Amino acid sequence: MKKKRIEITFESDEVLIVRRRRRVVSQSCPVCGETVMMNLNDAAANSGIAAPRILRDMADDRVHFLETADGVLLICYTSIVSNRNPHST
pLDDT over 70 (residue 8): yes
How high is the pLDDT of residue 6? 83
Instruction: Judge whether 80 lies within some domain.
Output: yes
Instruction: Judge whether 2 lies within some domain.
Output: no
Among candidate residues 41, 88, 33, 42, the one with its CA nearest the CA of residue 66: 33
Instruction: Judge whether 16 lies within some domain.
Output: no
Domain containing 61 equals 24-84
How high is the pLDDT of residue 28? 85
Task: Quote the number of domains for the chain.
Answer: 1
For residue 2, what pLDDT band results from cuts at 50, 70 and 90?
A: confident
pLDDT digits (tens, 9 = 90+) for 33-89: 887 899 999 899 888 999 999 999 999 999 999 998 888 899 999 999 887 755 444
Higher pLDDT residue, 17 or 41? 41
d(CA 26, CA 9): 54
